[in-house]
Structure 1
Amino acid sequence: MEFDLIITNGVLVTASGTVDPPNSDIAVKDGKIALIGSGLVGFASERTTIVDAEGAHVTPGGVDTHVHISQGAGGITMDGFDTGTRSAICGGTTTVVCFAAQERWNESVLEVVDEYHAKCASQGGSYSDYGFHLILTNPSPSVLDEQLPILRHEGGISSVKLYMSYDNRQLTDAQIMSVLQRTRALGMTTMIHAENWDMIKFIIKQLEERKLTDPYFHAVSRPPLVENEAAYRAIAIAELMDTPILLVHISTRSSRDHVRAAQTRMLPIHAETCPQYLYLLSDVLKKPDFEGAKYVCSPPVRDDKDDIDALWEGIANGTFTTLSSDHCPSCWDHPQGKKLGLDQDTKIAKFSAIPNGLPGVETRFPLGYQGVSDGKITVEKFVEVASTNPAKLYGLESKGVLAPGYDADIVIWYPKGSSKHSISNSSLHHKIDYTPYEGFALDNWPRYTFLRGKLVWAKDKGGLLGEQGYGKFIKRSGNQLRQPRDKWVNEWRPVV
């Protein structure tokens, strides 16, 4: 066999272990990993590209399954498929799953998904491979009974996202149960944004009456109890329906503990957390000159370092299934971006008007790897939550693993101790005019990134080498991780 690419002298990392040289050569043919073994360089031909990893870690490409592109807060100030997926590639993420959002008035989710495909095409396509989740805000009988099966079996969409908060997205508990009943039958994964919206609105009203409206009070309006109650309630609903769910962007110890307790009882409960909750505390919201608005996201970054420690522990002990970015950015210095929350005449801030969300698709993978350098998690656990588990949970069958037959989505890091990196917005590749991690010192960054065997990023040799449009839409199968506990049927639970 004539190989297109051979990577040699690297330490291969999988979720289950590492493979050291000389048994760790990777041979790639036609975009797929063909062989892993020793001495494969000896089978190189004149057309084979050979890359020496110089003893560094070699991991699967990152899989980020919580990315908002051309959707959500900030409108025109937000990343599109062009800048968002470019940013992903430059941070070692080779596959993103973003959102096609149904609005209240949308009767056809099939049309919604078609619109998002058209958005990607009109913007020139994607740098990374990509898929879609469906955000459901109007789960009518037609949507649940007629349209979801088409998306699942023909459209390659195997996940939906539901909100327990926001007036324009919130579903009632009864609506959530109806959705879970359908997604259980279809083998789809349901993501849930768990915050108690009535609590939040009540607190916001109290704060605004007292003129406590600076960005920091965004965090005050969403205390940990708001998330903890909704997370517990979502788990209870999922238990009633015996349906897999993933609780997105968990930010507190108590919510983590709810998830852990449910998993201990063998319930099909998954959870994700994000780098902002692993590295930031709410004092950043107090930055002067309205710069605290740069850090407004929901749930908010927390006050207590104990929550940060608990989240790292949750990754280490397997409570968290995925590490995602929740990339949902708006530009800061723009009247339609974060400064929507600042009256331009009076300069009075109103935190409730600040678009939610942070940029992070490019920094997620390196910040996760920094947890390895800091001794908080193993490199195997990093690969598990940042690549392998996201691919398995969301049915990306060819992604997230270094093994023959899988896509050759591969990241080569720098050898340990050979370089230092500082995060600066000037060196990032998104559209956004800031990063919440400005000045963060990292021990590593992806040195080379391959997408389906093609070199798309070489940090020291030209940077971004990938071409827009090379990324392709990936049709996904069902959840390959924790499944419903019971297979039986009664009057209201459908057959799995």
Structure 2
Amino acid sequence: MTDPAYDLVIRGGTVATASDVMEADVAIRGEEVVAIGRDLGPGRREIDAGGKLVLPGGVDPHCHVEQLSANGLLNADTFESATTAAAFGGTTTIISFAAQHVGMRLKTVVADYHALAERGAVVDYAFHMILADPTEETLTIDLPELVGTGHATVKIFMTYDRLRVDDEKLLDVLWAARQNRAFVCVHAENHGMISWMGKRLLEKGFTAPRYHAMSHPRASEAEAFDRLAAAARMLDQPVMVFHVSTKEGAAAIRRARGEGIKVFAETCPQYLFMTASDLDKPGLEGAKWMCSPPQREASDQEAIWRALELGDLQVVSSDHAPYRLDATGKFSSGANPTFKGIANGMPGVELRLPLLFDAMVSKGRLGLRKFVELTATNPARIYNLPGKGSIAVGGDADIAIWDPDREVLIEDGFTHDLSGYTPYAGRSVRGWPETVIGRGRILVEDGALRAEPGSGRFLARDAGEAARPLGTPSPEIALLLG
């Protein structure tokens, strides 16, 4: 008897990409998709996907995993727990952060972070490098070396006392990135506005978690976006703006892109499904919903949905940042902290896709192809992850098989990260990834993890086309370029 032609055939499902929806079988050999069509030959193993959706594995390009904060606080997840949560939620690739803090050597930070990922990751991964100390050594020695070994993106902060770069340092980082063909991601808020407002709220005795939202004035977002765009235009350096939360911020992105500045932008589920009122809970309960930037208003949600529809925002990431509700996490500064002393961040890597599927597919907002585009195809394209983000012959066999009719009530203890709670408890979603495959390996099946810790693979990459300058720097920069 002739051996089957394929290792695995997913048969009879509805295959969807960012451009097409079709009834088809998908055949996998080794780690790759090798055929898409009808009535494909037999596989050593076959999965009946009749009545199911066969979608690309999600790509979540903004996850904080096993990361030390500037205050010395380690978040709740290990690579094993975070990537397990990702897999259960239909995500097969993540990008997390190797976080430099002041006084740390960047190349040492990255090497140490590799060791953590190699030990625990069950899905494939890449890193953004956080630059909190952009010294001459960092920018002229470590950065070029690390970009050359496949670490193509850096992240900087325009706020936070221990992380922020001022305008001159911002230009230094953008310049170094341009010279080394790196891509720059930015947490952009006006630090002075946030610092000023926070101090005055505390002076007035407004200390509860709900005042966290007020401590980040909405004007701080659009102002920082405009300032970043001006710097990016001056140097002709493409940038990604993280976690857009306001309608004014979305408008600033649209304006910058309309002016020909190469600006990309993302948002997150918390800005689509929550408002500032979620923080307004008794005592310290609102700490569960504290993240930065904070959630805003219903009108901002609508503006952000519209920006996603128009293409002004291209990605929805999770900004997964899990902290436990105890002294090791949210309440590390004491038993009765002010909002300034509570760790910012929420778990989200597992529920990103189910929440968006429910809204976009089950409830019909933007549709199935746009869902795939925003959660898989665009992040793979923008961050240059070849083989990821779509189902295509020759691409990696990263696939999630969804039951579009399965209804799930989200409850605390339901997810697989280590935060101990979910900010989406009590919500119901329709549609769930039931079988998840990464590079041809079964990651999740029948409600159980099938992959081994450490089986995920580091994805070395260059910055790709999205991060390439347009070739139109300002006249003064053109002079410096010779």
Query: How far did residue 31 of structure 1 move?
Result: 0.8
Q: Deviations over 1:354-377 (max 9, x none)?
A: 001010010111112122222221
Task: State whether structure 2 residue 304 is matched by structure 1 residue 308.
Answer: no
Q: 1:321 aligns with which of 308, 311, 314?
A: 314
Equivalents in 2 of 1:290, 1:404: separation in Å?
Answer: 51
From 154, 158, 167, the equivalent of 2:152 is: 158
Corresponding position of 1:364: 352
Kept in 1, the 8 Å contact 2:197–2:217? The answer is no
CA spacing shift, 1:482–1:130, aligned 2, 3 Å: closer
Taking the aligned partners of 1:306 and 1:72, their CA distance within structure 2 comes to 34
Q: Does 1:400 align with 2:389?
A: yes
Which residue of 54, 66, 78 maps to 2:62? 66
Residue 187 of structure 1: CA displacement? Answer: 2.1
Query: Does the alignment pair 1:181 with 2:175?
Result: yes
* C-alpha distance in structure 1 between counterparts of 2:481 and 2:52, whole Å: 48
Give the residue type in structure 1 aligned to 2:411.
S
Matched to 1:115, the amino acid is D
**Count of matched residue pairs:** 475
Q: CA deviation at 1:249?
A: 0.5
By how many angstroms is 1:199 displaced? Answer: 1.0
Q: 275, 280, 285: which one pairs with 1:286? A: 280
Q: Which amino acid aligns with 1:81?
A: F
Alpha-carbon spacing, 1:249–1:54, altered in 2? closer, same or farther (3 Å): same
Structure 2: how far apart are the matches of 1:455 and 1:252? Answer: 39
TM-score, reference length from structure 1? 0.92
Alignment of 1:476 onto 2:461: yes
Greater Cα offset, 191-200 or 143-152: 143-152
CA distance in 2, matches of 1:100, 1:296: 23
SS at match of 1:271: strand
* Rounded Cα–Cα distance in structure 2 between residues aligned with 1:432 and 1:338: 10
Q: Which amino acid aligns with 2:394?
A: G
Kindly tell me: are residues 158 and 488 of structure 1, through their superposed partners in 2, closer, same or farther at Cα, counting changes over 3 Å? same
Q: Which residue of 1 aligns with 2:137?
A: 142
Segments of 5+ residues of structure 2 without an aligned counterpart are: none
* TM-score normalized with structure 2 length: 0.95
Distance in 2 of aligned mates of 1:169 and 1:404: 43
Q: Summarize deviations over 1:131-152 as a string: whole Å, max 9, x none.
A: 1110001112222222212111
Contact in 2 for aligned 1:120/1:126 (Cα 8 Å): yes
Alpha-carbon RMSD across the aligned residues, in angstroms, is 1.8
1:125 equivalent to 2:120? Answer yes
1:4 partner SS: strand
Question: Which position in structure 1 is the counterpart of 2:411?
Answer: 424
**Shift of residue 258 of structure 1?**
0.8
**Does the C-alpha gap of structure 1 residues 450 and 112 become closer, same or farther in structure 2, counting only changes over 3 Å?**
same
TM superposition shift of 1:77: 5.1
2:73 aligned to 65, 72, 75, which one? 75
CA separation of 1:143 and 1:25: change in aligned 2, threshold 3 A: same
- Paired residue type of 1:54: G
Check conservation: 1:397, 1:477, Cα contact below 8 A: no
> Is the Cα–Cα contact under 8 Å of residues 323 and 343 in structure 2 kept in the other structure?
yes
Q: 1:495 to 1:375 in 2, by over 3 A?
A: farther
Q: Structure 1 residue 485: deviation in Å?
A: 2.5
Q: Does 1:450 align with 2:446?
A: no
| Greater Cα offset, 374-383 or 486-495 | 486-495
In structure 1, distance between residues paired with 2:312 and 2:45: 40
Cα 1:100–1:456 shift into 2, 3 Å: same
Distance 1:419 1:138 in 2: 47
CA contact (8 A) 1:89 1:362 kept: yes
Q: What letter is aligned with 2:330? A: K
Counterpart position of 2:82:
84
Distance 2:12 2:481 in 1: 49
Question: Percent identical across equivalent pairs?
Answer: 37
Secondary structure at 2:406 match in 1: coil
Q: In the alignment, is the contact (CA less than 8 A) between 1:125 and 1:469 conserved in 2?
A: yes
> Is structure 2 residue 248 aligned with structure 1 residue 254?
yes
* Deviation by residue 1:369-389 (Cα, 9 ceiling, x = unmatched): 122222221211111111111
| Residues 208 and 283 in structure 2, CA contact (< 8 A), matched pair in contact too | no
Task: Give the alignment partner of residue 110 of structure 1, picking from 99, 107, 118.
Answer: 107
Query: In the TM superposition, what is the alpha-carbon distance from 1:262 to its structure 2 partner?
Result: 1.6
Which AA in structure 1 matches 2:50?
E
Residue 204 of structure 1 deviates from its aligned partner by 1.1
Task: Please tell me whether the aligned partners of residues 248 and 271 of structure 1 are also in contact (alpha carbons under 8 angstroms).
Answer: yes
Residue 386 of structure 1 pairs with residue 386 of structure 2 = no
Does 2:20 match 1:17? yes
Between the aligned partners of 2:365 and 2:354, the Cα distance in structure 1 is: 14
Distance 1:269 1:143 in 2: 24
Distance 1:292 1:278, change over 3 A: same
| Counterparts of 1:432 and 1:314, CA distance in 2 | 31
CA distance in 1 between partners of 2:420 and 2:457 (Å) = 27
Which stretches in structure 1 are left out of the alignment for 5+ residues?
A: none
In structure 1, what is the equivalent of residue 39 of structure 2? 39
Deviation at 1:68, TM superposition (A): 0.5
Q: Give the drift of 1:336.
A: 2.6
**Which secondary structure state, in structure 1, belongs to the residue aligned with residue 168 of structure 2?**
helix
Q: What amino acid maps onto 1:132 in structure 2?
A: F
Choose from 189, 195, 208 the match for 1:195: 189
* Alignment pair present for 1:4 and 2:7: yes
